[in-house]
């Protein structure tokens, strides 16, 4: 992991596992040797697309975007501790408190371009319900307990297409996020992760570095979720998740150790490829 050997990125469902590890650190009163983060996908805000007021879809009334009929029927009675929504200021502050008490140092919020393959649409970006929890984090009274950064989810329906669009995105990120006092930085450089590095624009990322320097930052740590090179504007690698590629049957249950060992093997391979790697631990 070279220069960034003290950085680690963990998937949100590791909260319970990490709480065990952190209790040991706290008992020894030692400073953690790594900074743990969690990807934060805000699918539990907004309005369920099936919430149309019809009797047959009554199950969707008042539910968030990613609530499904299967959750309402096959898994009825298994409501989350804080319910199916995570879109209030009070709840975000509870999540910050819970995460920070269990060793999570930052959230990497999924961020979406609007409009797909078009020019920037700030109104659509600001009104996207998937950005609401991040906005609540930025305003939280206890956000001094954590930091945050962006995972640019530039996949289908949120593609940033062309140099001009990437320049517009760069200006928007710098002005609206990087300048926030709780934005995650390494050596003063704001950290940003690109979900599909193959869909990025080399000239656009070069502009991001220049614009960030003009804004007073020493640059930006641009991290690829997958394979990428410094020639294309990346300084580090990570993943969104990873699992064994062969030999798994979706109808069977496997021990977690199989997944944990696989993740460690990926870390070891990535450490030797010439670019710093932020390890990811996949859960479930």
pLDDT digits (tens, 9 = 90+) for 30-87: 566 789 999 999 999 999 999 999 999 999 999 999 999 999 999 988 888 888 998 9
Q: Minimal CA–CA distance to 204: which of 154, 239, 138?
A: 154
In a domain, 50, yes or no: no
Q: Which of 23-27, 172-176, 263-267 has the highest mean pLDDT?
A: 172-176
Residues 38 and 14 sit within 8 Å (Cβ to Cβ) = yes
- Residue range 101-141, pLDDT digits in tens: 999 999 999 999 999 999 999 999 999 999 999 999 999 99
Percent of the chain with pLDDT over 90: 75
What's the whole-number average pLDDT of the chain? 88
Say if residue 8's pLDDT is above 50. no
pLDDT at res. 1: 35
Respond yes or no on whether the N-terminal peptide bond of residue 115 is cis (omega within 30° of 0). Answer: yes
Q: What is the dihedral of CA 39, 75, 91, 9, to 10 degrees?
A: -10
pLDDT at res. 31: 63
In a domain, 68, yes or no: no
Residues 120 and 114 sit within 8 Å (Cβ to Cβ) = yes
pLDDT at res. 23: 30
Place of tokens 């199916």: 84
Place of tokens 């907004």: 46
pLDDT at res. 270: 80
Q: Minimal CA–CA distance to 189: which of 173, 168, 166, 169?
A: 173
In a domain, 65, yes or no: no
In a domain, 11, yes or no: yes
* Region for residue 46 given its phi and psi (left: phi exceeds 0; alpha: psi -120 to 50; beta: otherwise): left
Say if residue 14's pLDDT is above 60. no
Say if residue 196's pLDDT is above 80. yes
In a domain, 74, yes or no: no
Domain count, the chain: 1
In a domain, 57, yes or no: no
Indicate the helix (H) or strand (E) that contains 10: strand 7-10
CATH number at residue 217: 3.20.20
Among 108-112, 208-212, 214-218, 280-284, the range scoring the smallest mean pLDDT is 280-284
In a domain, 79, yes or no: no
């Amino acid at each position: 992991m070279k220069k960034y050997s003290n950085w680690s990125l963990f998937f949100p469902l590791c909260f319970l596992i990490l709480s065990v590890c952190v209790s040991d650190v706290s008992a020894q009163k030692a400073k953690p040797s790594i900074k743990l983060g969690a990807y934060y996908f805000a699918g539990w805000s907004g309005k369920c697309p099936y919430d149309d007021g019809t009797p047959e879809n009554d199950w969707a009334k008042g539910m968030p975007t990613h609530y499904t009929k299967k959750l309402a029927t096959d898994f009825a009675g298994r409501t989350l501790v804080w319910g199916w929504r995570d879109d209030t200021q009070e709840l975000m502050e509870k999540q910050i408190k819970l995460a920070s008490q269990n060793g999570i140092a930052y959230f990497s919020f999924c961020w979406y371009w609007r409009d797909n393959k078009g020019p920037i649409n700030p109104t659509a970006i600001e009104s996207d319900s998937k950005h609401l929890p991040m906005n609540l984090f930025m305003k939280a009274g206890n956000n001094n307990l954590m930091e945050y950064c962006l995972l640019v989810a530039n996949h289908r329906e949120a593609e940033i297409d062309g140099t001009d669009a990437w320049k517009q995105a760069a200006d928007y990120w710098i002005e609206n996020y990087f300048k926030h006092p709780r934005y995650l930085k390494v050596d003063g450089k704001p950290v940003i992760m690109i979900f599909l590095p193959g869909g990025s624009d080399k000239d656009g990322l070069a502009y991001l570095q220049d614009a960030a320097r003009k804004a007073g930052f020493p640059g930006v740590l641009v991290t690829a979720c997958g394979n990428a090179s410094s020639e294309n504007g990346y300084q580090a690698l990570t993943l969104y998740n990873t699992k064994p590629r062969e030999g798994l049957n979706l109808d069977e249950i496997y021990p977690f150790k199989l997944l944990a060992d696989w993740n460690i093997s990926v870390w070891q391979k990535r450490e030797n490829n010439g670019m710093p790697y932020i390890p990811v631990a996949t859960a479930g």
